[in-house]
Amino acid sequence: MSTAMLYGLCSAVLVGLGLFGLIVHPQPLRKILAFNLIGGGVFLLFGVVARRGAGVGFGGDPVPQALVITGLVVAFAATALAVALLLRLFEQTGQATLRLDG
Amino acid sequence: MAFDTGLVLLVLGVAVWTIVARDTFAAVVGFVAYGLLLALVWVRLAAPDVALTEAAIGSGVTGVLLLGASTRLRRTETSGAGEKPGITLRLAAGMLCALVSAGVAAIVLKFPEPAPTLAPQTAANIVATGLGNPVTAVLMAYRAIDTLLETVVLLLALVGIWSLAQDRVWGGFPGPRHHADLEGVLTFIAQLLVPVGILVGIHIFWIGSVAPGGEFQGATILAAMWILAMITGLVDAPPVSRRWLRLMLLAGPAVFLAIGLAGFAMTGAFLAYPAPYAKLLIVTIEVPVMLSIAAALALLVAGPPERRPQR
Amino acid sequence: MSFALDALTILAVSTGAFFFLAGTVGLLRFPDALSRLHALTKADNLGLGLVVLGLLLQAEGSFAALKLIGVWLLTLLAGATVTQLIARTARPGGTHE
């Protein structure tokens, strides 16, 4: 198995781990963390696709690498907005929970 | 191969720690370590530009944001414990996630051979762009529309965050006021590190046209220096209603869009650069975009306004 | 000549790795925060310094060597600052001056 395949399997496990954390944790901040874990796994999958496209003197296909760079910045913007929403919820209600009270 | 196996085990171990740690602060620390280890993985995958971006944005700036949030939410640590799902839900979630992982692993193992790639097309046309770094060529020439939309997405997230301010502090200063202890350790390191960091950021931006680097990585380092200066109290965050701040944020996307529309006049297509001026146009776009992205990243971390504006 | 350089690099990097190991064992086994910080500074200063020394022998050109030394100095700076800040919070007397 080549190294690219090994990292591809690693990305599969990361996606599963992140999804588990997203479902199981009640606190929204832990859910945001788990979501970023899923994002890391998906970007790693892109990286494996880029590595397999090596050729003509490049170590990897540059197009998926550029897509991952864009994705990282957008993921950070989404995380920042999510954290701001969470902190505002905490300010308004005094607790950080997604549970709806009756 | 042994090194890669060890690295994969380390990444998975830190990821498991991030999920199962009881304390949110410990989980965030694990997440920062996860980001740095992923940067090593990117180097092994022959993607140094992505490694720089992952270490700077994915681990660094996101880590600062999440550390600040976890400190503010420390009081809610124990109250969430009452909602923990029972053992049946955990088992069901575990099986679902195992299925998802197996599905992705099956996709990975069934990748087509030979691998499809756009590297030959990138290499064939890179001379016309005047750049030496293929990833920068993709970001600024071949897929420039993606980069333009990405700068706009950053602005949209910033507007979303600013709109979360309470009415009485609308347009005010983001975040609490940090007071600088002028004899303290933090002030020392900020005064020492910020000028060095600004130089390093500009260097990484400039070298990005021929070597790994580029405006996103350089902009993140500049943003980190501004965040450092704000956190240590050496400068105060500007009120979000200041005109110069808003002009600085808009300059990047505006110049990008203007040059894109000028492409209609010059070559008949949106965001098309005429060959002799390609490098000049790309640099003209990159400088304001870098400043806008640096400002946007720093303000995304600073958060919504919390103090009333003076006027 | 290059064999001697390679051997020196392996020796330096291995010694640096040993200091990292010692620092990690100290982090896990020492009883309180201050002694753990003490162990970590060994890993940071000596461990990284020896690794950088070993890599300096393999560096191509003086600019690469300067960058390696710059990495070590920046890590020293960051480590010293964070150690001071943590120690002030963790010491038994509290954070008063």
Domain over A3-93 is classified CATH 1.10.287.3510: yes
The more confidently predicted of residues A66 and C44 is A66
The span from the CA of C72 to the CA of C78, in Å, is: 10
Q: What is the pLDDT of residue B66?
A: 95
Judge residue B310's burial from the number of C-beta atoms within 10 Å of its C-beta, 0-12 exposed, 13-18 middle, 19 or more buried: exposed
Mean pLDDT in residue range B248-263: 92
Contacts of A14 in chain B (CB under 8 A): 11-12, 15
Mean pLDDT in residue range B244-257: 93
DSSP run (H or E) holding A91: helix A62-93
Q: What is the pLDDT of residue C41?
A: 87
Q: What is the pLDDT of residue B82?
A: 63
Q: Indicate whether C56 pLDDT > 80.
A: yes
**Count of alpha carbons within 13 angstroms of residue A17, beta-carbon side:** 25
Return all residues near B275 (Cβ < 8 A) that are at least 6 apart: B128
Sorted by where each begins, the domain ranges of chain A are 3-93
Task: Write phi, then psi, for B166 (nearest 5 degrees).
Answer: -75, 160
State the average pLDDT for chain A.
90
Q: Indicate whether B179 pLDDT > 50.
A: yes
Q: Indicate whether B85 pLDDT > 70.
A: yes
**Within a domain: residue C95?**
no
**Within a domain: residue C47?**
yes
Query: Residues in chain B whose beta carbon is closer than 8 A to a beta carbon of chain C?
Result: 185-186, 188-189, 192-193, 196
- CA-nearest of A95, A97, A84, A79 to A26 is A97
Q: Indicate whether B83 pLDDT > 80.
A: no
Nearest residue on chain A to B149, alpha-carbon basis = A70
* Residue range of the domain that includes C27: 2-90
Tokens of A28: 């929204």
Q: What is the pLDDT of residue A102?
A: 46
Residue whose tokens read 């890590």:
C75
The more confidently predicted of residues A64 and B178 is A64
State the average pLDDT for chain B.
90
Mean pLDDT in residue range A16-23: 94
Q: Indicate whether C97 pLDDT > 60.
A: no
DSSP code, position A27: S
- CA-nearest of B148, B144, B136 to B253 is B148
Q: Indicate whether A4 pLDDT > 50.
A: yes
**Count of alpha carbons within 13 angstroms of residue C35, beta-carbon side:** 8
* pLDDT above 90 coverage of chain A, percent: 69
CB atoms within 10 A of CB B147: 27
- CA-nearest of A65, A4, A53 to B119 is A53
Number of domains observed in the structure of chain C = 1
Q: What is the pLDDT of residue B111?
A: 85
The more confidently predicted of residues A50 and C88 is A50
Between chains, do C78 and B192 touch, taking CB under 8 Å as contact? no
Contacts of B103 in chain A (CB under 8 A): 12
- Determine the distance in angstroms separating the CA of B118 from the nearest CA of chain A, rounded to an integer: 6
Q: What is the pLDDT of residue B172?
A: 86
The span from the CA of B5 to the CA of A91, in Å, is: 45
**Within a domain: residue C49?**
yes
Q: Indicate whether B15 pLDDT > 90.
A: yes
Q: What digits encode the pLDDT tens for the residues C5-40?
A: 899 999 999 999 999 999 989 988 988 888 888 888
Task: Name the neighbours of C, counting chains with at least 3 Cβ pairs within 8 A.
Answer: B
Phi-psi region of B85 (alpha: psi -120 to 50; beta: other; left: phi over 0): beta
Mutate to test the interface with A, among B9, B62, B148, B159 (most CBs of A within 10 A): B62
Lowest-confidence segment of B19-28, B71-80, B198-207 by average pLDDT: B71-80
The more confidently predicted of residues C61 and A43 is A43
Encode chain C in three state secondary structure.
Answer: CHHHHHHHHHHHHHHHHHHHHHHHHHHHHCCCHHHHHHHHHHHHHHHHHHHHHHHHCCCCCHHHHHHHHHHHHHHHHHHHHHHHHHHHHHCCCCCCC
